[in-house]
Structure 1
Amino acid sequence: MEDQANSKSLIVNYGVILAVAGILLSVITYAMGEHLKPHWSISVISIGLTTALVVLGIKKYKEINNGFISWGQGVKIGVGICILSALITAIYQYIFMTVIEPDFMQQAMEIQNQAYLDGGMTEAQIEGANEIAQKFQSPGIIAAISIIGAAILGFIISAIASAIMKKTEEETY
């Protein structure tokens, strides 16, 4: 039972830290006016933060657990951190798109349409692309895609980190 309490506590702590860091990064890009066309470096920073916090969470659990951690425990912690962070971030994104910047999706679509025109697409092709894109623009769909993506990224990072840090009591004998 103590292991479960430790893992839940770590998931909450590191998940909230990751969410706050991600939201802060989003606020900075918004303040700089880069929220519609963010630089690739923002993605690198975001993945770096995710990796660091997942690894730190797994490492902390191993430390608390007397140096032992199974691969499954590590994956559970890493995926949990990422999913909790994505849930909190989804709430922020909903507030952002409905209160702070209600025309965000329209602005993003205009920028995308210009890129389509610059790429040589016809008006009919752009209209078709917009119809498809509008199906994915509701806050619920965006949140679901974000959470699924976070779970997948969390699994990949934590699977690798857990495989490296894994140490079970059976291995010590």
Structure 2
Amino acid sequence: MEENQVKTGKFAWTYGAIGGGIGIVFTLMLMSMDMLYDQGWGKSVVSTLILVAVVYLAISSFKKQNQGFLTLKQSMKVGIGTALVAAIVALIFTYLLINFFVPDFMDKTAELSRITIMEKNPQLTPEQLDNAIDMQKKFFWVAYPMILIFNLFIGFIVSLITGIFLKKERKA
């Protein structure tokens, strides 16, 4: 008798979408609290913890649905897939946020950067400062692949650690 095999992709899509949705809600919460432009480390820590929790929940849910069995390979597929889907949702939302919902996002970010750069480097001339801000605007697109790489890296690490600790293979 053949058993129904639980699909790793189903968990990656479901939990990745949940993680992306939670990230969107977190961003909307920050917007409502006027903290969207906050440069503190707290935002990054909370976002990373959300991703870690969602990846872990995806893997542990997969294990439960798979009759308590989990291989390291399955853990990696579910975890990295979840992180990838969450990253895609985050990228789409970030693009929409910056280009449509908050069209002056780049200008506000540039102004905050100008203040920070002036505080750290008071010897800069206005021309040097303008050049630094222009370069920042030109290379903002780098944020998109960085979001993807960061999510995949966190997904890989969490999947590996979770897979090692929750691994339980079927006997041959």
TM-score tier, shorter chain, comes to 0.7 to 0.9
d(CA) in 1 for partners of 2:149, 2:15 = 18
- Equivalent in the alignment of 1:137: 140
- Equivalent in the alignment of 1:66: 67
- 1:96-111 aligned at under 5 Å gives the runs 96-111=97-112
Q: Is the 8 A contact 1:29 1:38 kept in 2?
A: no
- Equivalent in the alignment of 2:167: 166
Q: Which 5+ residue runs of structure 2 have no aligned equivalent?
A: none
What CA deviation, in whole Å up to 9, does each residue of 1:3-50 have, x standing for no partner? Answer: 4x6211111111111001000000110111110115433222222211
Q: Which 5+ residue runs of structure 1 have no aligned equivalent?
A: none
- Equivalent in the alignment of 1:31: 32
C-alpha displacement at 1:80, in angstroms? 0.7
- Equivalent in the alignment of 1:150: 151
* Aligned amino acid, residue 165 of structure 2: I
Equivalences, count: 168
What CA deviation, in whole Å up to 9, does each residue of 1:84-104 have, x standing for no partner? Answer: 011011111111111111110
Taking a change above 3 Å as real, the CA distance of residues 78 and 70 of structure 1, as seen in their structure-2 partners, is same
Partner SS state of residue 35, structure 2: coil
Percent identity of equivalent pairs: 25
Q: Is the 8 A contact 1:79 1:158 kept in 2?
A: yes
d(CA) in 1 for partners of 2:4, 2:13 = 15
d(CA) in 2 for partners of 1:142, 1:42 = 16
d(CA) in 2 for partners of 1:100, 1:69 = 42
TM norm structure 2: 0.87
What CA deviation, in whole Å up to 9, does each residue of 1:82-141 have, x standing for no partner? Answer: 110110111111111111111101211110111111112513543443343233223xx4
- Equivalent in the alignment of 2:116: 115
